[in-house]
Amino acid sequence: MAELETDAMIEIKAPVRVRFAPSPTGYLHIGGVRTALFNWLFARHYGGQFILRIEDTDEKRFVEGAADDIMASLRWVGIDWDEGPDVGGPHGPYVQSLRQEQGIYAPYVEQLLAAGHAYLSFTTEDELAQMRAEAEARGVKAFRFRGPERDWPLERQRELAASGRPYTVRLKTPLTGETSFTDLIRGGDRITVQHDQLQDIVLIKSSGMPVYHFAHLVDDHLMGITHVLRSEEWVPSAPYHVLLYQCFGWEAPAFAHVPAILRSDGRGKLSKRKDDVATNRFWERGYLPEAMFNYLALQGWSYDDKTEIMSRDEIVERFTIDRVQASPARWNPDKLRDMNGIYIRRLPVAEVAERMLPFLAKAGLIGDPPSDEDRAYVLQLTPMVHERLEELQQAPELLEFFFRAPQPGAGGYDPALLVPKKTEPSQAHDWLRAVHAALNAVERWDAATLEAALRELGESLGVKPGPLFGTVRVAVSGRTVAPPLFDMLAALGRDEVLARVATAAAALE
């Protein structure tokens, strides 16, 4: 099934294996989900595998429970993985700290050391910081650290290490020449970096823990990763990775640096300070995972000049790397909202009702868990708010008055709202009395009958439907903006409606 697909100079060799490798330092922000999604789409489109790997080599920033939270976020939008920490796989474990414990990285460090591609560096963090500060004070344009030990014989490095001096392992980067690589998204042009711009990066910290640059690369190789799709912030460090592959004598995977997502307001990358981007916040607010999936797919990728609403399957079928663009996307909450509304409207009524339940329960409008009567009532109300919903969290606000009678006056609605323009309060009062009588006399309590009755009443009173219905709307809902009046009356029931109309009339006396 693995076909060779050729799109605009881009050849994808199957079978592909890609991965998403988050570090558990907190919740997964929505940009991370987008990067994971692109990897997932790429794998699914080409019939390959998608692997999840937890990169927890930063002991300082590790957050307990973050990995579970990240996995929950991914699952929420519908991203699953073929191999990963929880599901296992032939290349496990899929957590780097565990891999470190098993000694997986050690031989590769030795390999580099033995080949003279890396060395033990005894310069401490503090010393380095001081050197940087001094260099800056002297006006050095760019401080590129290369440890003096890079030229020592390995035995001398090892002797010093054996004496108990703490050390890191650094990559011995070439001093001259250049390294270049191609990026699938940046149109085949090679990205080139001069070696004098590099420095001897740390591969293994003094704690013995590997650093990202080293661990991810060894793991990618061991796990057979064929394509690395990652955020564009990694472009500058890609030369180090290319160099490392060369040092190991391994074939490097193809790189595709996906565009960053920029903040909706102002400048810069998406950040939790300026944007509400914690993934779990979106389900709290009532975003549908299918809408999020669709929106996120469009952050940096497009299908054509007009198609935006696409199903999961359609996106998988259409997703190709040549249609991922190089320029950054910008987070657009309005667009997401709009799209969520579209997805909500496409849902069957019963489904919307079901999805609103938790929000109504949380607001205390129905039981938690909801009773059968609660469910039935919500189902009855749903058509009235269905197309008015852009976020499920709006449901309680929109439906509140169905569960709690609005009260005129302090703490409730302003009785003045009952009085249309160019109308005296006494007139509105009389209308309400007449409405009360008319509704009381209605034989069948359904929307059509109620509408006929009130239209007739309006004619006999010589009042236009607009003002009359407006007054009734406020009396019944406590607000000027509400779902269609007669559906509301029908759902509320005769007793409740009569009571509210009477209360409103009394408020105008």
Residues 421-460 that bind RNA (CB under 7 A): 451
- Binding-site size for RNA (CB under 7 A) equals 92
**What are phi and psi for residue 143, nearest 5 degrees?**
-90, 120
Q: Among 272, 274, 362, 422, which one carries the catalytic annotation?
A: 272
- Min. distance of Cβ 208 from RNA in angstroms? 9
Largest CA distance in the chain: 107
Let me know if 43 is exposed, middle or buried by CB neighbors in 10 A (0-12, 13-18, 19+).
buried
Choose between 56 and 83: whose C-beta lies nearer to RNA. 56
Residues 131, 129: Cα–Cα separation, whole Å:
5
- Min. distance of Cβ 338 from RNA in angstroms? 4
Angle of helix 447-461 relative to helix 425-441, nearest 10 degrees, comes to 140
- Min. distance of Cβ 433 from RNA in angstroms? 20
Per CB under 7 A, the list member of 39, 73, 97, 168 interacting with RNA is 168
- Min. distance of Cβ 238 from RNA in angstroms? 8
Applying CB under 7 A, does 130 fall inside the site for RNA?
A: no
Q: Which stretch binds RNA (CB under 7 A): 54-62, 241-249, 408-416, 499-507?
A: 54-62
Q: Rounded to the nearest 5 degrees, what angle is found at the Cα of 463, between the Cα atoms of 461 and 468?
A: 105
Residues 59-88 that bind RNA (CB under 7 A): 60-61
Residues 257-296 that bind RNA (CB under 7 A): 259-260, 262, 267-269
**What are phi and psi for residue 186, nearest 5 degrees?**
-90, 50
- Contact by Cβ (8 Å): 16, 42: yes
- Min. distance of Cβ 47 from RNA in angstroms? 22
Helix (H) or strand (E) holding 322: none
Spatial CB neighbours of 74, under 8 Å, sequence gap ≥ 6: 20, 28, 33, 36, 52, 80, 81
Interface mask toward RNA for 472-491; x: CB under 7 A: -x------xxxxxxxx----
Cis bond upstream, residue 166 (ω within 30): no
Choose between 69 and 308: whose C-beta lies nearer to RNA. 308
Per CB under 7 A, the list member of 187, 348, 364, 493 interacting with RNA is 187
Residues 191-250 that bind RNA (CB under 7 A): 191-194, 197, 201-202, 205-207, 209, 211-213, 216, 232-237
Applying CB under 7 A, does 100 fall inside the site for RNA?
A: no
Applying CB under 7 A, does 188 fall inside the site for RNA?
A: no
Choose between 20 and 377: whose C-beta lies nearer to RNA. 20
**What are phi and psi for residue 34, nearest 5 degrees?**
-60, -45
Applying CB under 7 A, does 138 fall inside the site for RNA?
A: no
- Contact by Cβ (8 Å): 472, 457: no
Applying CB under 7 A, does 57 fall inside the site for RNA?
A: yes
Choose between 153 and 188: whose C-beta lies nearer to RNA. 188
Applying CB under 7 A, does 147 fall inside the site for RNA?
A: no
- Which residues are paired to 5 by β-bridges? 12
Can 362 be counted among the known catalytic residues?
Answer: no
Choose between 195 and 375: whose C-beta lies nearer to RNA. 195
Let me know if 67 is exposed, middle or buried by CB neighbors in 10 A (0-12, 13-18, 19+).
buried
- Min. distance of Cβ 48 from RNA in angstroms? 22
Cis bond upstream, residue 370 (ω within 30): no
Choose between 186 and 312: whose C-beta lies nearer to RNA. 186
Q: Sheet of 168-171: strands edge to edge?
A: 118-121, 168-171, 202-204
- Which residues are paired to 324 by β-bridges? 301
Beta carbons within 10 angstroms of residue 479's beta carbon: 14
Q: Rounded to the nearest 5 degrees, what angle is found at the Cα of 30, between the Cα atoms of 27 and 32?
A: 80
Per CB under 7 A, the list member of 20, 287, 413, 469 interacting with RNA is 469
Which amino acid is present at 250? W
Choose between 213 and 318: whose C-beta lies nearer to RNA. 213
- Min. distance of Cβ 385 from RNA in angstroms? 9
- Which residues are paired to 258 by β-bridges? 231
Choose between 298 and 315: whose C-beta lies nearer to RNA. 298
Q: Please say whether the dihedral angle defined by the alpha carbons of residues 427, 429, 434 and 435, taken in this order, is positive or negative.
A: positive
Residues 3-32 that bind RNA (CB under 7 A): 7-8, 21-23, 25
Residues 346-385 that bind RNA (CB under 7 A): none
Residues 294-353 that bind RNA (CB under 7 A): 298-300, 302, 304-306, 308, 322-323, 325-330, 332, 334-335, 337-338, 341-342, 345
Per CB under 7 A, the list member of 186, 195, 274, 433 interacting with RNA is 186
Let me know if 377 is exposed, middle or buried by CB neighbors in 10 A (0-12, 13-18, 19+).
buried
DSSP string, 416-478: GGGS-TT--HHHHHHHHHHHHHHHHH-SS-SHHHHHHHHHHHHHHHT--HHHHHHHHHHHHHS
Choose between 191 and 361: whose C-beta lies nearer to RNA. 191
Residues 382-421 that bind RNA (CB under 7 A): 387-388
Q: Which residues are catalytic?
A: 272
